[in-house]
Amino acid sequence: MQSPAAPDQSGGAARAEARGSMDDSHPDAPPLTVILAAGEGSRLARQGDGTPKPALSLLGLSLAERTITSCMAAGIQRFLVVLGHSAEQVQAHYQGISARRQCDVEFVTAQDWKLGNGASALAAADRVGNAPFLLTMSDHLIPPSLIKRVLRARPEQGEICLAVDRDKAGILDVEDVTKVVLSDGRVVRIGKTLDEWDAADTGVFLCTRALFDALERAKAQGRHSLSDGVSELASSGQVRAIDVTGEDWIDVDTPEALQEARRRLLASVSKGREDGYVSARLNRQISTRLSARLATTGITPNQMTVLSLLVMLMGAGLLSVGQYVTGLAGGLVIQLASMLDGCDGEIARLRHLSSARGAWLDTILDRYADMAVALAVTYAFAATHPGPLPWIVGFLAAFGFVLGSYVTKEFAIRHDRPYPNDVFNRLKRRDLRILLICLGAVVGRPFEALLLAGVLCHTCVIGILIKGWARSQRRGVRQPPARDSQTGSETPPSGQTTRPSVAGT
């Protein structure tokens, strides 16, 4: 291990020796991202255990990993981290992120990082090449959507782009935020002490090498902050403002900011308007609290999916006994499972672990859970009500549950757009039908509740079918492929292409 002043400059998936600088001049290639992680962060950096600021944990991920994962979600895979304070610890932390996330992370040490973040940025000058690069801070939480908006900008030679936020009311620490004055889409002044200002500097830049020239000029005048270099460019109209007002970013620089970041992250994990009525008003109030604790453990989203199924099967077993007490317990257990069912997605979103495989597993196991509950309730009722009618009713209810999942996915395939989260979509969701069966168990009528849930699902499916039919008549819809009678192969109608159906997932 080298000394803290000059730690190993290769890391994780980095291959500096093979590439030289990290330049990629292809105009459509995702740019390199330079992350400034050299500062001490005196107001937050150490929480009593010697943890450097970039490595501070927030709901299961460090600040550093949240920056990396947001950039990766925007399509970026290459990173250059500027080290300074606690260089060896910070580098080791980023190397762990590189190994977990399979991204390319390299390092450079700013020897004079104590002078300011401008001096830290200058340390990257010989490593970025000639292509535009993204520049951000290790302690800023930035959503991928903001990064994508910045990446759509094309800085001209000799200029840089800065993401700015005009929503002054949404800024947590107005006294500390870097402020900018705008004119005709350009930053003309920048600094923390401006009395009159138009927007806040979000700490996200898309830069050309003009930034380093400006930082050198500022350095010659004894000015060493990043804003000093930006100010040099702003004075000659070389800083283009990218308006990202409405994006949920935050500079995590104080204990209060850390708590606010936690609050915002928890608020963001719900599906918003995609949630059903019960999830939005009841289940999320409990599941997010559980997820906040579980996210800091080693449990994975897929493990939570399986756990939710097991709890649901336990509840189904209790419901199948046919006694009031066991039925009551079973109803409460399946409602608990319904709440747990939200935790897998919440943990995935909190820890940036969402995957198509996980969503597929969740969908399939949810259908098994639905069938188990419907079968258990029907079995218990049929034990005291002989004849085929209970089984017919139970089968039709269960069939409605499956169709409820199938119909909106098929709509999305056929119409190339998701079905809106209208009243039909919300009333057919499993959060409501599980609660109905739970309430039915509480009053000793789980089978009647199952019947009501089934009728509700079929009603919603028919409503969605009618809306889809009407839309097909108005705008036309993809036709199923014709089958060649000789070869048996499917041939799409003229002007159309086939795509695999994932209906019922």
Would you say the C-alpha torsion 496, 500, 504, 505 has a positive or negative sign?
A: negative
Phi/psi for 83 (5° steps) reads -100, 160
The CATH number for 228's domain is: 3.90.550.10
Q: Is residue 487 part of a domain?
A: no
Q: Say if residue 126 is in the same domain as residue 229.
A: yes
Q: Say if residue 275 is in the same domain as residue 152.
A: no
| Residue with tokens 């300011």, as numbered in its chain | 116
Q: Is residue 162 part of a domain?
A: yes
Q: Say if residue 233 is in the same domain as residue 282.
A: no
Domain termination residue (choose one: 261, 289, 314): 261
Q: Say if residue 298 is in the same domain as residue 207.
A: no
Q: Which residues of 142-152 are buried (b: 16+ CB within 10 A; e: fewer)?
A: bbbebbebbbe
User: Tell me, what's the pLDDT at 414?
Assistant: 87
Q: Say if residue 446 is in the same domain as residue 313.
A: yes
Q: Is residue 36 part of a domain?
A: yes
- Give the span between the Cα atoms of 227 and 320, in whole angstroms: 68
Cα Rg for the chain, rounded, in angstroms?
Answer: 28
Task: For residue 68, give the 3-state DSSP assignment.
Answer: helix
Q: Is residue 488 part of a domain?
A: no
Q: Say if residue 273 is in the same domain as residue 252.
A: no
Q: Is residue 223 part of a domain?
A: yes
Q: Say if residue 307 is in the same domain as residue 205.
A: no
Q: Say if residue 274 is in the same domain as residue 348.
A: yes
| Residue with tokens 């039709």, as numbered in its chain | 396
Query: In which residue ranges of the chain is pLDDT below 50?
Result: 1-8, 10-20, 477, 482-505
Nearest to 192 by CA among 181, 208, 204, 207: 181
For the whole model, what pTM was predicted?
0.82
Q: Say if residue 83 is in the same domain as residue 196.
A: yes
User: Tell me, what's the pLDDT at 483?
Assistant: 46
Range of the domain at 285: 269-477
Q: Is residue 120 part of a domain?
A: yes
Phi/psi for 502 (5° steps) reads -120, 25
User: Tell me, what's the pLDDT at 274?
Assistant: 77
Q: Is residue 501 part of a domain?
A: no
Number of domains in the chain: 2
User: Tell me, what's the pLDDT at 499?
Assistant: 36
Q: Is residue 6 part of a domain?
A: no
Q: Say if residue 255 is in the same domain as residue 278.
A: no
Domain termination residue (choose one: 219, 245, 261): 261
Q: Say if residue 182 is in the same domain as residue 34.
A: yes
The CATH number for 385's domain is: 1.20.120.1760
User: Tell me, what's the pLDDT at 67?
Assistant: 97
Q: Say if residue 296 is in the same domain as residue 196.
A: no
Domain termination residue (choose one: 261, 282, 299): 261
Phi/psi for 258 (5° steps) reads -65, -40
